[in-house]
Structure 1
Amino acid sequence: MNQPIQDLLDRYKGDAISLRRKLHQSPELSMQETNTTRVIRETLEQYGIRCMEDYSLPTGAAAILEGKEPGKTLLLRADIDALPMEEKSALPFASQHSGVCHTAADMISIPLPFSCAHASSLPWSSPGAAE
């Protein structure tokens, strides 16, 4: 792997793990993800990424990271809703909401776009945009 990219992954790995665990503990069913939406928006703002204000859904967030030069656009997305089922793990960051939990696949998809967005917001970002 490209060393600068590996260095970024190593640098922000802890942030991605922390975000994943925080969201895993507070799962919300589809179209009820108000806390998850708040955490997403706050995290993007901490990275210096402004959310789009005209986003029309009551839950979820959208942002555009502009590259230094015009170029292709890359779309990154994540499912943020949980499932109506009981979590049976004994993990220290297990769901704190009875009867609602995130599955393993959900929890991989959420921090990944944030890690990419965080890396893309750094000064050496590439041409194009990410949404």
Structure 2
Amino acid sequence: MHSRDLIEQYKSYVQDWRRYFHKHPELSNEEFETTKTLAKELGSIGVEVHVDTERGIGLIGIIHGAKPGKAIALRADIDALPVHEHNTVDYKSDVEGKMHACGHDGHMAILLGAAKMLMSMKDRIEGDVYLAFQPAEETGAGAPDFIKFGDWYDKVGAIFGGHVWIDLPAGLVSVEEGPRMAASSQITINVKGKQGHGAQPHQAVDAIVVASAIVMNLQTVVSRNVSALDS
């Protein structure tokens, strides 16, 4: 069967799972039920499943191809955000103050659909396909722990992931050369002021004013210190 036919065959399957996950969101490092649900579904379609039992969140599914070849990974994130949903759809979040507002419900559903498709053409696959369902993407802390879970990360030669994007028309896939999106990173700046009397502010160092100046001047890094041609 051609892959296009499989896409049509599992279209409603992906849609149903996306709506299920949308109704049952879990925040970063709390994806216990989501992990159990994913593990159960992958197991039911014949995928080898490895759950991070130490943390109870996140899992790896493995599809062993019928032919020898290199290993790759397909990755989806699984956490939701602390956002209150105001939609009125019948698959609205059932959890107050929590919502899949960044598309991870769709990412999980898409990867489950990919698993169904790959299992349908298992005899044509060369090598192994690892299905990586990563927790805690929103906090930026999930990946370091996830790549240390088991030995899957050392076995794969490439990892493929995607992200739904509201600015793109439905049905369009955007693939471009070079870096895409951005990584999250943190820096810590400690501003130390000097106490003083309210009537003699000139003898003190106001840490709030200093910190505010740092924030405002950082905004000029791009506008005044980086070439306008370098986006």
Common fold by TM > 0.5: yes
Alignment of 1:63-102 (within 5 A): 63-102=61-100
Between structures 1 and 2, the one with greater strand share: 2
Q: Alpha-carbon deviations, 1:41-64, whole Å to 9, x = none?
A: 111012111202566532111111
1:34-113 to 2 correspondences below 5 Å: 34-52=32-50, 56-113=54-111
User: Match of 1:27, as an amino acid?
Assistant: P
Between the aligned partners of 1:8 and 1:14, the Cα distance in structure 2 is: 11
The 3 A distance-change label for structure 1 pair 29 and 124 is same
User: 2 CA distance for matches of 1:33 and 1:26?
Assistant: 10
Instruction: Let me know the Cα RMSD of the aligned residues.
Output: 1.7
Instruction: Name structure 2 gaps, 5 residues minimum.
Output: 131-231
Q: Does structure 2 conserve the Cα–Cα contact (< 8 Å) formed by 1:55 and 1:62?
A: no
Offset at residue 27 of structure 1 (A): 0.3
Say if 2:83 and 2:99, in contact at 8 Å, map to a contact too: yes
Instruction: Summarize the Cα distance change of 1:125–1:112 in structure 2 as closer, same or farther, 3 Å threshold.
Output: farther
How does the TM-score come out when normalised to structure 2? Answer: 0.52
Q: Deviations over 1:28-76 (max 9, x none)?
A: 1111111111110111012111202566532111111110111122211
Does the 8 Å CA contact 2:77/2:107 hold for their aligned counterparts?
Answer: yes
Gaps of 5+ in 1: none
Structure with higher Rg: it is 2
Q: SS of the residue aligned with 1:52? A: strand
- Cα distance in 1 for partners of 2:100, 2:87 equals 11
State the structure with bigger RCO (CA 8 A, min sep 6), 1 or 2: 1
Residue pair 1:22, 1:93 contacting (<8 A) in 2 also: yes
Tell me how far 1:105 sits from its aligned partner. 2.4
- After superposition, the Cα gap between the structure-2 partners of 1:14 and 1:24, relative to the gap in structure 1 and judged at 3 Å, is same
Partner of 2:129: 130
- The alpha carbon displacement at 1:91 in A equals 1.2
Residues 53/91 of structure 1: CA separation in 2 closer, same or farther (3 Å cut): closer
